[in-house]
A and B are shown apart, each in its own frame.
Chain A
């Protein structure tokens, strides 16, 4: 029985259950120093002086560095979506001339012990000439660093994408619907904070950084460039990683500092972030405002869509460059035909923590924007919310569908899709009509309960390529080596299932090595829901090649023809005799290592899609929103391990609920963060979490890879804000009420109060 498609328990779990994991903080090297970062207490200011004399004299302190001590280290460069003009906005490793957000690293202390390092960091004194913090990304751009970079403004770039004849669409329109929506600032917040430990081996000259995540190979090269290390002189090694969600594993100042520290101070350097630092310094995300205008005909068909949007990327442009705005501009049209389109995405900087990608970047935001717009159009034209979607969804006979715009350097071409079919099946599955009747009945009895739905497109399997190597070890087991990374999502099990299928062995016979730059020369890491699609396909190709090689070797050992042999259940069997050879025997009897590799290339991404349906109840006294039921209909192409897919969908959906109802980085008017602990940054607990029901479909395999798979990592999250927003509208019988996220009690109360006034304004508009 093929292991593909089976809900096998994970091969990586045992050490994690026994408390034998190896997370960043669990590394310890003889003679190690601890690094502590001194962070800016102000949102915006010119650095006049930094006094570290007292700190340097404290017990256990070995060194204190400011920007002056590392002036040879360049700012952190872009990993993705490098747009012309972004260079001046890169973040220095330690603040130079200005600080631009509360939490920005201004100095580092190296000491013998973490308590001593923290004591000393408290005695580093910075003198700033404070500037007025700029906190509104929709306001006119202001100078980025007035004295150092005169004329450089806080709008690094505008990303524009367009297709079709927009003016003609608006000229033809019977209805023009305008809508402004906003998605607040929240982020991944993995349970393990960031951390790293760098060791420089003086004998070999190799610097190794432990605690790597997400993109070890890229970060190895980037740190090497910044510290001018020759190729081969730096390795990154991933242990267990306590969650990633897009934010962990990007190259941050602290990673570079531990490496520089190890090289220059000659001792291993360990840095473990505390939670306050994490909330102030690791990438934030979302924080977009969309101003949309749709041209619609009498039937509800959208002829054209125009969007002006603003992404608050915080203080600097970090590794993602223009990625989030690029994705938002390309994927706003989503699953709908919309023959004419134009988006201008303003990348704006403010004096908040820099922002990057977080699970479903650009899609969580644009799905909220677009689906709220669909609901607004339905309301204006008196159409049903399902009907408006059916009218506009791309029909199956138009697949593959070329959107005629690009994203992340590839053309947006939806590989395959049965959108109408999935919508129908999901609504049947949830018993949509009965659900509507049930909430209507409860409303008639005074409850504020409602149902909302949203359709979305995801993207997965970002290329351009991936490499996997597989080999037969002497004990008869198979070792699979990949440059992908594990951030806790189950990489080892999924890759092992794919290899076990191709080789016809048990998954327990397979070990998967990942995240080690010393073990394989190419690795693209884990992001953009790429691992199962890209690494999985390469693993299948490598395993099939290894199978052929094993049979070739077995043929010579058994003195038979290769074509007459098969590998089944870990044993090579001859077609018409009882002759068999076990993998252990083959490995033992062969002097050389039997090894094969598999490359998989992809020019285009594969696009999963789905429908979210939410049922919520609003407490009229507190304006608290309770999610009573949540269903995710999702087309994955093929599920390697349905239990793990469900885990991804459920976990993502609950993060989506956090972003929709609870989580927000709020700042005061001086740019001081008001959510710098878990007492203020509220994440869902088991009390706020409904059971996430998954309706997983494999009706439409992807034609772009040999497995037929699409990614599972993000689609549980993409439409949560949109579906819950619609459900709250329905619960309060107030179409268009929810126009921003998160819908916390005080914000919902304000929206309810403003609602009659907003409608008066809309009605008076010519």
Chain B
């Protein structure tokens, strides 16, 4: 079980040559082996969504995927969302609309929303609420998250 596998993780356009046990989760590999601690672990059983990252553009729970399963994919994490100093419309609207308090669930919500809106930029409010119900937030009561995502969607369509 402790035999390590050498592999390369592609994250936010960079390559990370790592050596991991087959049982190592993608979340642990991102955090511990790549040093990308923006992806947070809230439950490690796939419910809370704090660890949501994009795998080939689709939102995935990084706690439920093994690192070795991510050998030939493009992973995107919150660290890759902004363009240098320029915030992504989602980050900007979360800030403007108080869409975060403690900020622990925020990276997961951002990646969930960016994945959903890139797949369907014209999502209805009902569909957005449904998608956002995939993740848990304990501080905001969700309404400012929904508001921020709706406003970001408008900006992203421009």
**Assembled-state Cα–Cα distance A356/B139 (Å):** 19
- B129 contacts A by Cβ under 8 Å: yes
Closest to A658 in B: B138
Whether A38 is near chain B, meaning CB under 8 Å from some CB there, is no
Cβ contacts under 8 Å, A9 to chain B: 95-96, 98
Most chain B CB within a 10 A radius of its CB, from A19, A241, A651: A19
Residues facing A in B20-68 (CB within 8 A) are: 21, 23-24, 28, 31, 36-45, 47-48, 50
Roughly how many angstroms separate A311 CA and B132 CA in the complex, as a whole number?
36
Give the size range of B's interface with the partner.
35 or more
| B95 CB contacts on chain A under 8 angstroms | 9-10, 13-14, 17
Q: Which residues of A contact B118 (CB under 8 A)?
A: none
A242 to B102, CA, bound (A): 5
A654 touches B141 (CB 8 A): yes
Residue contact B104 to A190, C-beta cutoff 8 Å = yes
Q: Give how many A-B residue pairs fall within 8 Å (CB-CB).
A: 168
Q: Are A685 and B45 within 8 A (Cβ)?
A: no
For the complex, what is the distance from the CA of A189 to the CA of B105, rounded to whole Å? 13
Instruction: Tell me which of B28, B79, B103, B129 contacts A13 (CB under 8 A).
Output: B103
Residue of B nearest to A677 (CB): B45
Inter-subunit contact B136/A685 (CB<8 Å) = yes
Question: Contact string, B96-115, partner A, CB cutoff 8 A, digits 1/0?
Answer: 10101111111100100000
Q: At the interface with chain B, which of A160-168, A389-397, A612-620, A686-694? A: A686-694
Q: How many residues of A contact B (CB 8 A)?
A: 55
Q: Please determine whether A17 and B104 come into contact, CB atoms closer than 8 angstroms.
A: no
Query: Can you list, as one digit per residue, whether each of A635-677 has a CB less than 8 Å from chain B (1) or not (0)?
Result: 0000000011011001111110000000000000000000001
A689 and B140 alpha carbons, distance in the complex (Å): 11
The complex places the Cα of A441 from the Cα of B102 at a distance, in Å, of 42
- Judge if A365 is at the interface, Cβ distance under 8 Å: no
Highest count of chain B CB atoms <10 Å: which of A242, A245, A683, A686: A686
Of the candidates A244, A490, A686, the one whose C-beta lies within 8 Å of that of B133 is: A686
Task: Judge if A139 is at the interface, Cβ distance under 8 Å.
Answer: no
Residue of B nearest to A193 (CB): B42
Residues 131-158 of B, flagged 1 when their CB comes within 8 A of A and 0 if not, give: 0111111111111111000000000000
- Contact across chains for A689 and B101 when beta carbons are under 8 A apart: no
Distance (whole angstroms) from the CB of A547 to the closest CB of chain B: 29
Tell me whether A744 is interfacial, beta carbon within 8 Å. Answer: no
Known: A25-B37, A243-B138. A17 touches B102 (CB 8 A): no
A274 CA to B138 CA in the complex, in Å? 17
- Asked whether A647 lies within 8 Å of B2 as measured between CB atoms, the reply is no
Q: What is the chain B residue whose CB lies nearest that of A643?
A: B98
A residues in contact with B41, CB < 8 Å: 25
Chain A, residue nearest B130 (CB): A687
Distance (whole angstroms) from the CB of A571 to the closest CB of chain B: 28
B87 at the interface (CB under 8 A from A): yes
**Residues on A with beta carbons closer than 8 Å to the beta carbon of B44:** 274-275
B139–A488 touching, CB < 8 Å: yes
The CA of A274 and the CA of B107, in the complex, are separated in Å by 19
Residue of B nearest to A7 (CB): B98
The answer, among B94, B104, B129, B141, for a CB contact under 8 Å with A651, is B141
Asked if A353 is at the interface of the complex by the 8 Å CB criterion, the answer is: no
Chain A residues whose C-beta falls within 8 Å of the C-beta of B40 in the assembled complex: 23, 25, 191-192, 242
Assuming the A-B contacts A17-B91, A17-B110, A490-B101, are A115 and B45 also in contact, with contact meaning beta carbons closer than 8 angstroms in the complex?
no
Q: How far is the CA of A609 from the CA of B130 in the complex (A)?
A: 34
Which positions 7-23 of chain A face chain B at CB distance < 8 Å?
Answer: 9-10, 13-14, 16-21, 23
A25 contacts B31, CB within 8 Å? yes
Whether A687 contacts B87 in the complex (CB less than 8 A), given A115-B24, A678-B43, comes out as no
- Set B21, B39, B87, B145: member contacting A686, Cβ < 8 A: B145
Q: Which residues of B contact A240 (CB under 8 A)?
A: 102-104
Quick check: A647 and B37 within 8 Å, CB to CB?
no
Q: What is the CA–CA distance of A487 and B101 in the complex, to the nearest angstrom?
A: 9
Cβ A488 vs Cβ B102 within 8 A: yes
Chain A residue numbers with a CB within 8 Å of B21 are 115
Measured CB to CB, the nearest residue on chain B to A716 is: B141
Q: B119 near A: Cβ within 8 Å?
A: no
Complex alpha-carbon distance, A243 and B44, angstroms: 18
Closest-by-CB residue of B relative to A693 is B143
**A189 cross-chain contacts in B, Cβ below 8 A:** 138
* 7 A-B contacts (beta carbon < 8 Å): A9-B95, A17-B87, A17-B95, A191-B42, A488-B103, A685-B134, A685-B135
